[in-house]
Structure 1
Amino acid sequence: MSSDPWGRVDETGTVYVRTADGEQVVGSWAAGSPEEALAYFERKYEGLVVEIGLLEKRVQTTDLSAKDAQTAIDHLREQVEAHHAVGDLDALRGRLDKLVETVEARREERKAQRARQSDEARKAKEDLVTEAEQLAQSDQWRAAGERLRALVDTWKGLPRLDRKSDDDLWHRFSHARSAFSKRRKAHFAQLDAQREEARRTKERLVAEAEGLSDSTDWGPTAARYRELMAQWKAAGRAQREHEDDLWNRFRGAQDVFFAARSSVFAERDAEQSENLKLKEELAEEAEKLLPIGDLKSARAAFRSINERWEAIGHVPRDARPKVEGRMHAVERAIQEAEEAEWRRTNPEARARAEGLTGQLQAAVDKLGAQIEQARAQGNNAKADKLQRELEGRQALLDQALKGLQEFGG
């Protein structure tokens, strides 16, 4: 018989292992010595020790799933419980029990981690849905579209939730994207329609502008071009491929007209500047007739000056009031001289003036006599009243005498 601390071989070749529950039969050995039998089953034990050690390391250092770890533990436990090895089997059972606890703890930890990840993924997807629903109402088409595409990429990188939650959130997310796409499509369809209408409108404006480009009706045509420009601005932009070409044609037609007008106006300005010099010379000649001496010769001279004035064309508009005012001043002086001459030489007017003067002189003489009589009688109040009346008649008489002098009286 042979033995070691954990087992023995009896006379029949039966091998035993010692456990806390007593000796357990390991097997029988008839092929060699008892020492060889123990050595064989001790090697079996060492094999179990190595396998358990490897499993412990895998559990601690790899992402071995709890299910696979438990299967491996159960397989090793069956080997330990079969008692086909000689060694401290109770210690191996203890290590396997501890390993079960470790695996279960890892299972719970991973379960909690998955729950956290699921909560984080749910929160992240809910945030994506909320942002997508807000973007669905945006009119910032380019920026919002790019952001929605980025949100899709972010969504794809997040873990899936339970099917119902994931499907519900994806439905909201997808609906928001569809709503934005629908609004954007409608917007650009409307924009295309507006640009097409703008193109048709601007083509009409270009056609009219080109038709007016050779007009010489300067004022009305320039006004019409201003109206066409206002209509152009109000029409909005046409499609990019048409807008620049239409604008170049429209602007080109205006340039042709305004260049021609500028050329004509430049010639006109030069002519009117020369006319102004001539009229200023005539105004200076007319002003030399003042003051009026010989009315007849002054009138004839002014008539000659005025005929030459009328033969001269237009002068610049801003200079017209001043130079015409100088001529009008001379004309008014001649008219006033004519009126004075007429009053002086009109027989009827002279007769009326002499008659009025005579009447006023008689009234003044009469009032003077009445005042002397009243004062002689001591009636000073009456005399004062008559004196005031006399002063009024005397003023009228002085004025009448002055008028009479104009007739050479």
Structure 2
Amino acid sequence: MSSDPWGRVDETGTVYVRTADGEKVVGSWQAGSPEEALAYFERKYEGLVVEIGLLERRVRTTDLSAKDAMTAIEHLRTQVDEHHAVGDLQALRERLDQLVATVEARREERRAAKAKQAEEARTAKEALVAEAEELAASEQWRSAGERLRALVDTWKGLPRLDRRTDDELWHRFSHARSAFSKRRKAHFASLDAQREEARKVKEKLVAEAEALSGSTDWGATAARYRDLMTEWKAAGRAQREAEDELWARFRGAQDVFFQARSEVFAERDAEQQGNLALKEELVAEAEKLLPVTDLKAARAAFRSVNERWEAIGHVPRDARPKIEARMHAVERAIQEAEEAEWRRTNPEARARAAGLTGQLQDAVDKLRDQIAKARAAGNDAKADKLAKELEGRQALLDQALKGLEEFGG
């Protein structure tokens, strides 16, 4: 007789496996020694271990369905329960039980994922329907039509919902597309009539533009051309061939007028460039008056510069803001100097400042006297409190003295 921790072979060749419920017959072995019998059934046990390991890996790493996984588990459980192997059969049962739990968990995960996917698909289709219904009222015929076609492709790529919900959403989606198509057809049906009307309007505009092309009333004619352009845009488009021909005539008439105006303005610009050079010389002369040290002399010199400035004509429009800003800066500086001089010599303001300074000085002197008396009386707490108040009054006094200095005393 031969045995190991999990099984034995008796003298008749019967092979047993040890379980928690006692020994179970595994089979009979007559072809060799008891050791060979145990080794044979131990190999069968190892085979079950390998099969269970492979099934565990498939469950973890593949999309094996729960149904197929449970079938495979039951097949292996039957082999374990039939006791045709020698080894820790209970350990195998426990692994199979754990595998069942894993499969059930995976089944729940897939069920939840499927429910989530269905909810996401429903949300996505509702969003497509909402966008399609919004596009149904659009007049951006090309972009809206392209977007609706893209929405159809997106819809086709989404999973189907339950029949009732899917049909209901598709009906709304399809209705929105049909409504847009109907409106687009009606729009283009009326477009030809509109284009013919636009052609008639534009022919009149072209005739007027050509009549104005020789005008030398530059301002009024340029304004009228701007009005004609506004009317041109408001008229809408004619048929392509007519639109191109009319536009060429319209632009040609404008070009004749504006070219003539440009030649006249070029002569005017040359004169204005000369004026700009003169004004730049004057503003440089004015800027030399800064900073103001002699207010009376600066005021007289600036007046002279300004008189010569006013005698010069216009400068180019784009240069005007910069050159005038420089001149105004000098003028403001002189004005500020005048205001400062007035404040400095204003007797009423000086008297108010002197009065405030005197009051603050009296208060400071009084606090110092009170502090000295408190110290002498040994009342340091009161002295410290008065000292803090003195700091504030002294700061106000210093500020007032500084203001008084600005009045020259």
Residue in 1 that maps onto 2:347: none
| Aligned residue in 1 for 2:137 | 137
SS at the partner of 1:46?
helix
Partner of 1:39 in structure 2? 39
Q: Which residue does the alignment assign to 1:6?
A: 6
Q: Whole-Å Cα distance in 2 between the matches of residues 254 and 85 of structure 1?
A: 105
CA shift in 2, pair 1:252/1:108, >3 Å: closer
* Alignment of 1:55 onto 2:55: yes
3-state secondary structure, aligned to 2:30: coil
Q: CA deviation at 1:57?
A: 2.2
For residues 9-408 of structure 1, what are the structure 2 equivalents within 5 Å? 9-199=9-199, 236-248=236-248
- Distance change (3 Å), C-alpha of 1:19 and 1:254: closer
Cα 1:251–1:34 change in 2 (3 A) is: closer
Look at both structures and tell me which one has the larger radius of gyration over its CA atoms: 1
Task: Give the deviation of 1:250 after TM superposition.
Answer: 7.7
Bigger shift: 14-23 or 107-116?
Answer: 14-23
Counterpart-to-counterpart distance in 2, 1:29 and 1:235: 106
- The secondary structure found in structure 1 opposite 2:125 is helix
Q: Distance in 2 between matches of 1:86 and 1:40?
A: 9
Unaligned runs of 5+ residues in structure 1 are: 213-225, 259-409
Pairwise CA distance, 1:155 = 2.6
Alignment CA distance shift 1:67-1:192 (3 Å):
farther
Q: TM-score, normalised by structure 2?
A: 0.52
SS of corresponding position for 1:8 = strand
Residues 271-317 of structure 1 show CA distances to partners (whole Å, capped at 9, x for unaligned) of xxxxxxxxxxxxxxxxxxxxxxxxxxxxxxxxxxxxxxxxxxxxxxx
Following TM superposition, by how much is the alpha carbon of 1:253 offset from its aligned partner in structure 2, in angstroms? 10
- CA drift at 1:100: 0.4
Question: Structure 1, residues 65-119: CA drift from partner, whole Å, max 9, x if none?
Answer: 2122112211211211221111111111111011101110111122112112211
Alignment partners' CA distance in 2, 1:185 and 1:116: 40
Task: Report percent identity of matched pairs.
Answer: 82
Return closer, same or farther for 1:14/1:155 CA change in 2, 3 Å cut-off.
Answer: same
- What count of residue pairs does the alignment treat as equivalent? 245
Deviation of 1:142 after TM superposition, in Å, equals 3.1
The two structures have a TM-score, normalised by structure 1, of: 0.52
The offset of 1:129, in angstroms, is 0.8
Relative to structure 1, is the Cα distance of residues 193 and 72 closer, same or farther in structure 2, using a 3 angstrom cutoff? farther
1:61 deviates by: 2.9
* Structure 1 vs Structure 2 CA RMSD: 3.7
1:128 CA displacement: 1.5
* Superposition deviation, residue 173 in structure 1: 1.4
